Amino acid sequence: MSCTPVQVIQEVFCWTRLPMEVRRLAARKEDLFRGLLGDTKPAVPPGASSLLELLQKNKVRRICPLSRLSGSRIRKTWSSCKDS
């Protein structure tokens, strides 16, 4: 089972429970992660693009395998994959 960045910040590291601070730390983590990736695009598993297009076409907002990712991470990952 994986945790969201918010859960890790609040429950694993016990850094803070203040919502604004949690969002700030989660955003900073995402910025650092993107910086480490640089221009490297995430590997797209076979069939993932067609699945995401189908879900988007049918306006499916959330499914279990994708629910582990935050909404912004899904959008950023999807955007970078679509552009390639």
Q: Which two tokens stand for residue 22?
A: 């949690």
Whether the per-residue pLDDT at 27 is higher than 90: the answer is yes
Q: How far apart are CA 81 and CA 17, in angstroms?
A: 33
Average pLDDT over residues 31-46: 84
Range 24-48 average pLDDT: 86
Model confidence band, residue 46 (pLDDT cutoffs 50, 70, 90): confident
Closest CA to 4 of 22, 18, 21, 20: 22
Nearest to 4 by CA among 75, 66, 68: 68
Q: What pLDDT digit, counting tens, does each position of 2-16 carry?
A: 788 888 899 888 999
